[in-house]
Structure 1
Amino acid sequence: MTTRYIFITGGVVSSLGKGLASAALGALLQARGYKVRLRKLDPYLNVDPGTMSPYQHGECFVTDDGAETDLDLGHYERFTGVPARQSDNVTTGRIYSDVIAKERRGDYLGGTVQVIPHVTDAIKAFVLSDVTDEDFVLCEIGGTVGDIESTPFLEAIRQIRNELGRDRTAYLHCTLMPWIAAAGELKTKPTQHSVKELLSIGIQPDFLLIRADREIPRGERRKVALFCNVQESCVIPALDVDTIYDVPNSYHKEGLDVEVLRYFHLMKEGEEDAVDLSRWHEVVRRFRMPEGEVTIGVVGKYVELLDAYKSLHEAIIHGGIANNVRVKIKWLESEALEKGDPAEVLSGCHGVLVPGGFGERGAEGKIAAAKFARERNVPYFGICFGMQMAVIEAARNMAGIEGAGSSEFGPCKEPLVGLLTEWKRGNTVEVRGEDDDKGGTMRLGAYPCKLMEGSRVREIYGEEVIYDRHRHRFEVNIAYKEKLEEAGLKFSGMSPDGVLPEIVEIPEHPWFIGVQFHPELKSRPFEPHPLFSSFIAAATTHSRLV
């Protein structure tokens, strides 16, 4: 089996959508029957995004096997349905850590350790590893061409072309063609300069994917092709669309998949339209022609930067697609519920969702949101920290446990939520301490959860045992289970050994569910997560009652 590698780089400015471009191209190749895998090479020195603030880098996406990765891997999974792995995201920090560890062990036999060849060899080994029967591996290089941090990665992919040959490697470069209103023109010069920067490293792009907010005239495309030494048919416009799920359709219309397959000599004459994009057409149709609208209030801590909740945002949209309704998301800062009347802040919301988070700031606002939803019979969905705050609210106001709180915020009289120090992963026991390093020490990845017979979640999932992804360091204290259940909060999902609470619900409530895991990480536009589908359905029903 011959695996071909496509390297995606970006120039001019950041945030051009390289991750989305990679994901959409992967989806197009899939729609033509090819098996794909997507990877991200990140140039920052952090070992992984696990310890980075959401304000710095957006959400931290978690894989089934417990890797804390870049949010672009979420795009890859949502567009292709291929579960990402630990081997699909690497950073400069991890590369250098591995190289230095080898030097300390003496693996380099006393030689001088240098960026070339030792660092670039480590990058190449990562790119080429853990590949089996994939037809295409798409590797996105983070950052912008010209950044000093990304230079070793660019050098590594240049070397891979020399080693594997042109027939197995291709370079796709994403750039920007800005509209200058005063001149009334789209400008090609930024793209020219970006390609020149790539050429100075020794990389000649084979395809140019050019972001623009309007149609790119053929004259400008011809000019770019001429000055950048790229075939005109390989200058592909990447125009703005009203939903990211129309991007595969848009790229196919512009011929991206056709040109890529022609480059690799895989496109037979007359097969240009032999691609099945029906599921993408259906997703877009449902998005554009909904039969109703609901408003979901998301009470979070990082709402100033919506990338902090990227997977959550998309999963809510998926729930709307499943119910054929448009979801209007009302992003609410949790501290606003501490300063004002929660009923006023949450007015007009047909459902309340409290997502994950860390630290004490805004916690009382999230507790207030759970109380509002419980007392007003508004559908409530608590995820990770949102479940924990719902449990604390129930303890205080349903079970009468005064002083209920979380040890995450410091010593408290009744620690309803405490530090998770020991848990099972397969046949091994994971042990953590309060003073351990923060990076990679949480309960990470997919774990089994047994659902209680007759519970709402059992009905929603239709299965007895489920596997969802975790990312947390604190856990609901099982010692309070009996008292909380007597008050009406049921523990409807537990770890198979019955030690760790995974799901709580209020059976008498129209829809009140809290989960310790992150279901948003496994939702797809063409396969919405059942919890989000059910939550939006409940919110839709509630919208018709108010």
Structure 2
Amino acid sequence: MARYIFITGGVVSSLGKGLASAALGALLQARGFSVRLRKLDPYLNVDPGTMSPFEHGEVFVTDDGAETDLDLGHYERFTGVAARNTDSVSSGRVYSTVLEKERRGDYLGKTIQVIPHVTNEIKDFLHIGEDEVDFMLCEIGGTVGDIEGLPFFEAIRQFSQDQPRGQCIFMHLTLLPFLAASGELKTKPTQHSVKELRAIGIAPDVLVCRSEHPIPDKEREKIGLFCNVRTENVIAAYDLSSIYEAPLAYHREGLDQAVLDAFQISPAPRPDLSVWEDVVDRIHNTDGEVNVAIVGKYTQLEDAYKSIKEALAHGGMHNRVKVNVKWVDAEVFDHEDAAPHLEGFDAILVPGGFGERGTEGKIKAAQYAREHKIPYLGICLGMQMAVIEAARNVAGLATAGSEEFDHEAGKKRFEPVVYHLKEWVQGNAKVSRKLGDDKGGTMRLGSYDASLKAGSRVAEVYGTTAIDERHRHRYEVDIAYREKLEQAGLCFSGMSPDGSLPEIVEWSDHPWFIGVQFHPELKSKPFNPHPLFKDFVRAAKENSRLV
């Protein structure tokens, strides 16, 4: 049976609970334990799938098609454990399940209440897969004191009481603000946060304190005394130059040892941190820099493209170069020349997105990369925009566009080279969709196989002709235009196994120009970079030498 670590937060949001959870998972793995990480979010959306990227950052997609919080991306990148549908739950999903059961009569006419029905549903979720791993790390979204989080805090309190003694511990992340006027760290916010937590029946075993300044021993002792936590279990979390330094930094502070001591696991296995030492070495010892433009529409919030930025960093580690990312708003050159905005970059990446806003700028970015022989990687919408650019400027289809944009405008303006997905094969079943279907969970989601053309650049990059990648889209390049586009020189180098859905396109006469319908960034890790990002950064590195 798994041991449970519940990670909560206090004082302010965005302190890095997800990163701390992921780093702890990596440290436990380094000591030989198996782990799984989970996220419990208090918001009422069933999942983040319909949330604006400006609201919640990127949506991370699992192999089995779940749309989840971006923290699951951290979990995968640090542990290499593929997340599942059962690793993310929201209040919306919990309440939806409870109400479905009530409508079916599963509760035999009882009055449905938060306690016990909602909390029991959360506890049932926590039990899933408990015999599969040594440690289950469960992060609770939000901060202690948030009214919407109370059912989750109550559920984990009950859960810890239901389990055998010593089977669960609580780790609480807080902030130690520094007041420049008095020149001291203030512990009172942490004390109040722990007081709030204890008021609902949860006593933290480990405190992780975010701080911009070293925490003196005197302050650690004070925190331990007033929060009823052992002094050695008060762990400092300082700002780092790279998130991938976190496992080594937390190990130096004794986080993994504090957790194992709380579980009374003694003697603790010695950790093998060689993987993370190599990662950090690659970050700090580089052979140069490359400049990559990400031409997107959500550039005001970097978290909207979190996995892409990290995958580029992974490609940089593999090639021993620092990747300098410049966020370029595609709307800026919707109606003007792209050259002044894209000159001087070693490579251009156009990511996914929804809606027409900024798409003309993305099309111009693809044109600029094609004409100036700049390495180009188009992801999801970025591939579709590259296809539309090829149709308009090379294949002679001047009005080429996407059905998505006509659907938004309510009138036909384009020849739809890209159209909505009508049907596809998922497993052994055929899935059908209509334009008017609900937005949530109705896209082509999760891992699908693709067949690569022998001798193509992508087959060379992957080193195989059979791959599987994660998808998240509801529009697709129309296969009816394949012949005309290939005659113009655009190679359809990757297709679904049945040959009906284009997965990858590339310009054969270009140094490096690839568009993919899937999201390769979701499977990249610092210790195992994705092949496309490894080779894309390599191409950028070579291009920088030519400039």
Normalised by the length of structure 2, the TM-score is 0.98
* Aligned partner of residue 166 in structure 1, secondary structure: coil
Superposition deviation, residue 22 in structure 1: 0.4
Q: Which residue identity is paired with 1:452?
A: K
* Aligned partner of residue 259 in structure 2, secondary structure: helix
CA displacement, residues 8-30 of structure 1 (integer Å, 9 cap, x when unaligned): 00000000000000000000000
CA displacement, residues 358-392 of structure 1 (integer Å, 9 cap, x when unaligned): 00000000000000000000000000000000000
Q: Which residue identity is paired with 1:534?
A: D
State the partner residue of 2:356: 360
CA contact (8 A) 2:421 2:475 kept: yes
Q: Which residue identity is paired with 1:25?
A: L
Q: Which residue identity is paired with 1:164?
A: Q
1:255-334 correspondence to structure 2 within 5 Å:
255-268=254-267, 274-334=270-330
1:412-427 correspondence to structure 2 within 5 Å:
412-427=413-428
State the partner residue of 1:207: 206
In 2: Cα distance, 1:374 partner to 1:113 partner: 60
Q: Which residue identity is paired with 1:409?
A: F
Q: Which residue identity is paired with 1:115?
A: V
In 1: Cα distance, 2:336 partner to 2:322 partner: 28
State the partner residue of 2:391: 395
* Aligned partner of residue 207 in structure 2, secondary structure: strand
Superposition deviation, residue 336 in structure 1: 1.3
State the partner residue of 1:142: 141
1:142-541 correspondence to structure 2 within 5 Å:
142-268=141-267, 274-410=270-406, 411-541=412-542
In 2: Cα distance, 1:388 partner to 1:490 partner: 14
Superposition deviation, residue 413 in structure 1: 3.9
In 2: Cα distance, 1:361 partner to 1:250 partner: 42
1:77-156 correspondence to structure 2 within 5 Å:
77-156=76-155
Q: Which residue identity is paired with 2:121?
A: A
CA contact (8 A) 1:123 1:153 kept: yes
State the partner residue of 2:45: 46
CA displacement, residues 491-522 of structure 1 (integer Å, 9 cap, x when unaligned): 00000000000000001100000000000000
* Aligned partner of residue 32 in structure 2, secondary structure: coil
- Consecutive unaligned residues of structure 1, counting only runs of 5 or more, are none
Q: Which residue identity is paired with 1:461?
A: Y
* Aligned partner of residue 334 in structure 2, secondary structure: helix
In 1: Cα distance, 2:165 partner to 2:344 partner: 57
CA contact (8 A) 2:157 2:201 kept: yes
Q: Which residue identity is paired with 1:477?
A: D
Superposition deviation, residue 165 in structure 1: 3.4
Q: Which residue identity is paired with 1:222?
A: E
CA RMSD of aligned residues (A): 0.8
In 2: Cα distance, 1:488 partner to 1:537 partner: 24
In 2: Cα distance, 1:160 partner to 1:198 partner: 16
CA contact (8 A) 2:402 2:414 kept: no
CA contact (8 A) 1:41 1:142 kept: yes
In 1: Cα distance, 2:430 partner to 2:335 partner: 43
Q: Which residue identity is paired with 1:83?
A: A
Q: Which residue identity is paired with 1:454?
A: G
- Paired residues in the alignment total 542
CA contact (8 A) 2:335 2:360 kept: no
Superposition deviation, residue 267 in structure 1: 2.8
In 1: Cα distance, 2:306 partner to 2:90 partner: 20
In 2: Cα distance, 1:478 partner to 1:220 partner: 65
CA contact (8 A) 1:258 1:267 kept: no
Regions of 4+ moved over 4 Å: none
CA contact (8 A) 1:406 1:412 kept: no
Are 1:19 and 2:18 an aligned pair?
yes
In 2: Cα distance, 1:354 partner to 1:166 partner: 52
Superposition deviation, residue 132 in structure 1: 3.1
In 1: Cα distance, 2:434 partner to 2:335 partner: 35
Superposition deviation, residue 130 in structure 1: 2.7
State the partner residue of 2:409: none
CA contact (8 A) 1:445 1:470 kept: yes
In 2: Cα distance, 1:348 partner to 1:169 partner: 54
Superposition deviation, residue 339 in structure 1: 4.3
Q: Which residue identity is paired with 2:330?
A: S
In 1: Cα distance, 2:387 partner to 2:371 partner: 14
Q: Which residue identity is paired with 1:241?
A: L
In 2: Cα distance, 1:255 partner to 1:166 partner: 24
Superposition deviation, residue 81 in structure 1: 0.1
In 2: Cα distance, 1:337 partner to 1:280 partner: 41
CA displacement, residues 242-268 of structure 1 (integer Å, 9 cap, x when unaligned): 100000000000101111111112231
CA contact (8 A) 1:323 1:536 kept: yes
Superposition deviation, residue 343 in structure 1: 1.1
- Consecutive unaligned residues of structure 2, counting only runs of 5 or more, are 407-411
Q: Which residue identity is paired with 1:489?
A: L
Greater mean deviation of Cα atoms: 43-52 or 255-264:
255-264
Q: Which residue identity is paired with 1:146?
A: G
Normalised by the length of structure 1, the TM-score is 0.98
Are 1:36 and 2:35 an aligned pair?
yes
CA contact (8 A) 2:4 2:168 kept: yes
Greater mean deviation of Cα atoms: 19-28 or 342-351:
342-351
In 1: Cα distance, 2:166 partner to 2:104 partner: 38
* Aligned partner of residue 433 in structure 1, secondary structure: coil
* Aligned partner of residue 93 in structure 1, secondary structure: helix
In 1: Cα distance, 2:111 partner to 2:24 partner: 40
In 2: Cα distance, 1:483 partner to 1:340 partner: 28
CA contact (8 A) 2:404 2:475 kept: yes
Identical columns (%): 64
CA contact (8 A) 1:408 1:418 kept: yes
CA contact (8 A) 1:294 1:325 kept: yes
* Aligned partner of residue 209 in structure 2, secondary structure: strand
Superposition deviation, residue 214 in structure 1: 1.5
In 1: Cα distance, 2:41 partner to 2:452 partner: 38
